[in-house]
Amino acid sequence: MREKLYQIIKSPTEGNSETTLYDYFMMVVIILSLLPLTYKPEAEPHWVIYVEHIAVTIFIIDYILRWFVADYEYPGLKLPFLQYIYQPMPIIDLLSILPGILVSITYHNPEFMTLMLLRLTRLARVLRSLKILEYSHSFRVLRAVIKNSIRPLKAVLAFAITYIIISSLIIFHIEPGFKDFFEALYWATVSLTTVGYGDIVPTTMFGRIVTMASSIIGIAVIALPSGIVTAGYMKALEEEEEETNKDLK
């Protein structure tokens, strides 16, 4: 029974109709649970609390079911039922549930809901959008691709961070208009990512030369991880298609 439950709620392959139905159902619940965030706190309609109650109840059931089959999901863990709660996605699941419980408590006891607590609660509820990654087959493939490509991606990230720091230090010392190092760091980041908001601009010749270099290097830095992930994604899809064809034969 537990193995069948695992196949339904956490099937690693596509094509299982029960799994597909469960994934779509959970994605609909997640999207509906985000609807209250489209309203300002003071303008929330009355039905919002009912949507919250239903969504949180479903999330709690889903969390318990996933914990119940933790040994199937994480066979490499020594204490899967205990260590499960410390894994990345279960942490996101738990953080998406807690705000709903807090909202339910404070709804009946409004004196406990301070402005800061309200903001933190609403911010934490945004984490529910990350749960969609757990129920989308394409995102599961993408997550596996990123995991397998982590070494080259780390190298690109290290290069980007190093260049941002170096260019920040250079521009900070040659541009009189940059008030502090954070402004230089902000400029270097938006320049490297080729965003260039234009709110902070260099005025000296050397500053503009550094800006041009950052823009050119930025194109390469952005293109590298995109190419790595795209190549890995295409390879993963090809392997999956080959496996599907083998099963059909």
Look at residue 142 and tell me if it is in a domain: no
Cβ atoms of 113 and 106 closer than 8 Å: yes
Measure CA 144 to chain center. 14
- Domain holding 45: CATH number? 1.20.120.350
Q: Can you give the pLDDT at residue 249?
A: 58
Domain boundary among 111, 135, 159: 135
* DSSP code, position 87: S
> What pLDDT, in 10s, does the model give residues 32-65?
888 877 777 667 777 877 888 888 888 889 888 8
CA distance 147 to 138: 14
Look at residue 223 and tell me if it is in a domain: yes
> What pLDDT, in 10s, does the model give residues 196-225?
677 778 888 888 888 888 888 888 888 888
CA distance 243 to 249: 10
DSSP 180-224: SHHHHHHHHHHHHTT---SSS---SHHHHHHHHHHHHHHHHHHHH
Predicted confidence band of residue 13 (pLDDT cuts 50, 70, 90): low
Region of 109 (left: φ > 0; alpha: ψ -120 to 50; beta: rest) is: beta
Q: Which residue has the tokens 């690693």?
A: 12
Write out the two tokens for 72: 């199937």
- Kindly state whether residues 45 and 124 are assigned to the same domain: yes
Diameter of the chain measured on Cα atoms: 71
Cβ atoms of 197 and 172 closer than 8 Å: no
Domain boundary among 80, 109, 135: 135
Its pTM stands at: 0.60
- Kindly state whether residues 216 and 174 are assigned to the same domain: yes
Predicted confidence band of residue 110 (pLDDT cuts 50, 70, 90): low
Q: Can you give the pLDDT at residue 15?
A: 55
